[in-house]
A and B are shown apart, each in its own frame.
Chain A
Amino acid sequence: MPVSPRRSVVLGAVALALALGACGGGDDGGDAAGEGANTVTVRGCNPQGDFVPANSNEVCSGDILDQVFSFLVRYDPETGQPENEIAADIVSEDSQTWTITLQDGWTFHDGSPVTAQSFVDAWNWAALGANATLNSYFFEPIQGYADVQGTFDDEGNYVDGSAAAETMSGLEVVDDLTFRVTLAQAESQFPMRLGYTAFAPLPQSFYDDPEAFGQHPVGTGPFRFESWDPNIDVRLSAYADYAGDVKPSIDGAVYRIYENDDAAYNDLQADQLDIMPLLPTSALAGDTYRIDLGDRFVSRETGVFETITFAPESVDASFTDPRLRQAISMSINRPEIVDKIFAGARTPANGWVSPVVPDFEDGACDPYCTYDQQGAQDLYAEVEPFEGTLALSYNADSDHKAWVDAVCNDITATLQIPCQGSPVVDLATFRNEITARQTGGIFRTGWQMDYPSLENFLVPIFATGASANDGDYSNPEFDDLVRQAAATPGADGAALYRQAEQLLAADMPVIPLWHRVNIAGYSTHVENVRITVFQTVDLLSVTTTG
């Protein structure tokens, strides 16, 4: 039958559609999750930057880098206590000069050995102003940090040669396996930090081409970085020569990238995804996940702490009396909000330090973080009544509205202060306004710990002029105590930090709300799933069932 040209258009389109659609049709092999039998799939997300440890400050890239790298210390996944990993010994006489010796036998995935130079060079690179890394402030305590910063011209371009030095004077290689770190001032909890991503050692190959390294990092950890297919997945395989005590029992892991939480959760239920480190809100509501997953979930407190900060006095002078701040704190019914809104994914806070910190002690906020309507009203009766409407600002691009409204209702019900949630379009705008000291009233703040230490929950937030001190809190007594604590090693130092924390109850610059609890789910294909205090999966303990 002759085919007319017009009909051939339609037929051709159909044929083309089917032919093009057919190409790329692969077969589905392997287990239920579509991978090799001893490989696990983990929900991943798109990293916001490249995979250079000095540039990673969010969970998407940090999660993967922590599997690819080993550090001087490793935090116990259960207790958060740091234990030596690559380090054989970290000692100091005066908490200011630290001598770090490494264990012999550690290698990078490219076969080159890990030496003292690997650490010193990596830290110097990260601190150098010209490299403009995101994590450079972690090296600020090291002597000579200011000298390597250099200056920038009006255009924002780095002025070549403007740094007084190329390397920090506080870092000194003693021999192949020993180096010395001199801090600008004593810091007894310094070893606590050394397991953070920014302190990773780097191989020589990094310096030849940092950009290529950022797409394909070479580390020292239990897993070797195989490939990164943006928007699709990151593949890791077990490193046979890993020198750590605990070797992974799985052959590898695939971090499958999902843009949408619910899509990942649906895959988890269908057994097509093995581990989801953080279940979505929709699954937590009404304990749905318990019905969907049975007992295939783990919950774990993590170092994410959520708070409300009072605007600095220079911006909003309504809150100068600490009794008003305490009254507001006492009028919030934390347990009820945690139960009704977060379905158990938070625990009420009663202090300013997360319970995952090894030296944590409960109750620093007593009695001001306990819901007590009468107590709140009594305190409020002693002060000048608040005038106008209390605005509680938050960024509207995350799930904050529900709890903000609940907190406002509690404040209004207890103190008769009209309170109104005040949404700001997104996190960038919200943080920008806070940093520029434009936000009045009270606003949502949060702190995700860098490392589990008392110091990390107190100094960066409450020391005078500290980087995250959004309320411009300044108390000479507090500054003095944390300075003493920094110079005092061991339990005495921890006691001093806790004493400083006690001062916050009297001043109440920031209202503690709750600590985040991570609820992770897993498929029938895996067992022994543990979540670290950093909300990541402990791939060393995971085993497969098949």
Chain B
Amino acid sequence: MGRYVARRLLQMIPVVIGTTFIIYALVWALPGDPFAGRCGARPCPAAYVADMTAKYNLDDPLPLAYIQYLGNLLRGDFGETFQGLSVGEELLRAYPTTVKLALVAIAFEIIIGIGAGILAGLRRGSFIDNLVLVSTLVVVSIPVFVIGSVLQLFLGMRWGIFPATVGGDASLYNLILPGFVLASLSLAYVARLTRTSLAENRRADYVRTAVAKGLPQRRVIGIHTMRNSLIPVVTFIGADFGALLGGAIVTEGIFNVPGVGNLIFRSITTRDGVMVTGAVTVLVLVFLLVNLLVDLIYGWLDPRISHG
């Protein structure tokens, strides 16, 4: 186990270096001088351009500039944005909101997704089963910005049940609407995954044995069937959590959530290369760690899978 974790951690090093290099190269290789559009119709003062070029090592060859960047990164220095703000602090400010939003979304996936999946899986072919199948199909086929905008219009603006946007006050209540929108797609997948998995396991030999032993129905489903049926679902939710921590550009945009997605979107549009590289580096790390965690949990839930 310990050796497995150590090996996985070591494997992360080339992945992180590779991805950051690609992002760094892509961001700064965009055509045109990033300071060309800063002064409207006239070119910026020569002194300003020279100063910025020196500050971001833009005159060095790319590998050299990258090594300088990586060196700073290893010392924990993510650099400064064009506004003179520390990239590290910006990320620390945006992350709690994104984590909160991701947790709200996961809560919806667990409560509604698994709930609906169990109901449908226990009564295959019934009205409820069909209802779940049709409604998840609808949700899967509608793009998230449509769901977001429609819910915002009715629940936020027309009926005023939730605030239309979140802004600086990222409280649990304010995050319910964006959290639900963010969860909607995965929620549909979770429901279908739970249903299929449950329905399959109900026909499994060990369940038949349990029923034959005369165990009460509650115990057969609640303990024997559910435990095994939820293994793929937990894996899916874990991987989804990793993806949600990467920020949700569309949903955060619609609801003005000051999270990582908004931060990255803004940095890309203003060509703030340092911010983009910094944010993506952290995203890569978070994604790798969450994936490792999910793999470990997977092995723990299903002892047949060994990480020895």
Q: Which residues of A are at the interface with B, using a C-beta cutoff of 8 A?
A: 4-7, 9-10, 13-14, 16-18, 20-22, 24-26, 28, 34, 46-50, 57, 129-134, 136-137, 149-150, 152, 154-158, 211, 214-215, 229-233, 256-260, 262-264, 266-267, 269-270, 272, 397, 425-433, 435, 445-448, 460-461, 467-468, 470
Contacts and interface: CB of A to CB of B under 8 A. Distances in A.
Contacts of A263: 164-165, 253-256
B36 A431 contact: yes
B45 A137 contact: yes
B157 A132 contact: no
A22 B90 CA distance: 23
A428 B37 contact: yes
A428 B271 contact: yes
A259 B50 contact: no
Contact of A460 (B42, B99, B271, B297): B42
Interface stretch (B8-16, B136-144, B170-178, B194-202): B170-178
A133 B84 CA distance: 13
Contacts of B33: 428, 432
B108 to A, nearest CB: 10
Interface string B251-278: 0111110100011011001110000000
Interface centre among A157, A231, A272 (most CB of B within 10 A): A231
B84 A470 contact: no
A58 to B, nearest CB: 8
B175 A266 contact: no
19 contacts: A9-B234, A10-B230, A20-B100, A132-B51, A134-B48, A136-B47, A137-B42, A155-B54, A156-B59, A158-B47, A211-B84, A229-B168, A260-B256, A262-B254, A264-B256, A428-B38, A431-B36, A432-B32, A432-B33
B36 A256 contact: no
A233 B167 contact: yes
Interface string B16-39: 000000000000001111111111
A427 B37 CA distance: 6
A21 B53 contact: no
Given A10-B234, A22-B172, A231 B51 contact: no
Given A133-B45, A259-B265, A21 B51 contact: no
Given A266-B152, A267-B165, A156 B253 contact: no
B37 A431 contact: yes
Nearest to A469: B42
Contacts of A445: 41
Given A48-B82, A48-B270, A270-B156, A20 B103 contact: yes
Contacts of B93: 229-231
Main secondary structure of the interface of A (DSSP, over half): mixed
A431 B51 CA distance: 20
Contacts of A260: 253-254, 256
A9 B299 CA distance: 13
Contact of A425 (B31, B38, B253, B297): B31
Given A427-B37, A433-B32, A50 B84 contact: yes
Interface centre among B33, B40, B252 (most CB of A within 10 A): B40
B43 A57 contact: no
B90 A230 contact: yes
Contacts of A257: 258
Interface in B137-186: 152-153, 156-157, 160, 163-165, 167-173, 175
A470 B90 CA distance: 38
Contacts of A132: 45, 47-48, 50-52
Contacts of A435: 36, 43
Interface residues of B, number: 78
Nearest to B233: A10
B57 to A, nearest CB: 9
A24 B171 contact: yes
Interface in B64-98: 82-85, 90, 93-94, 96
Given A48-B83, A266-B157, A269-B157, A256 B39 contact: no
B36 A432 contact: yes
State the 5 A-B residue pairs at the shortest beta-carbon distance, nearest first. Answer: A132-B51, A429-B32, A156-B54, A467-B42, A427-B37
Given A263-B253, A270-B156, A57 B40 contact: yes
A448 B33 CA distance: 21
Given A50-B83, A136-B48, A156-B53, A231 B94 contact: yes
B253 A17 contact: no
Contacts of B84: 49-50, 211, 214-215
A233 B45 CA distance: 30
Contact of A158 (B51, B107, B156): B51
Contacts of A158: 47, 50-51
A260 B54 CA distance: 32
Contacts of B234: 9-10
B301 interface: yes
Nearest to B111: A14
A352 to B, nearest CB: 13
A47 B51 contact: no
A256 B257 CA distance: 12
B4 interface: no
Contacts of A13: 106, 110
Interface in B204-252: 227, 230, 234, 252
A270 B164 contact: yes
Contacts of A269: 157, 164
A6 B230 CA distance: 10
A426 B38 CA distance: 12
Contact of B227 (A7, A20, A149): A7
B104 interface: yes
Contact of B107 (A21, A136, A448): A21
A5 B227 CA distance: 11
B54 A267 contact: no
Contacts of A4: 227
B44 interface: yes
Given A9-B301, A57-B38, A264-B256, A230 B103 contact: no
Contacts of A133: 45, 47-48
Contacts of A152: 46-47, 50
A134 B40 CA distance: 11
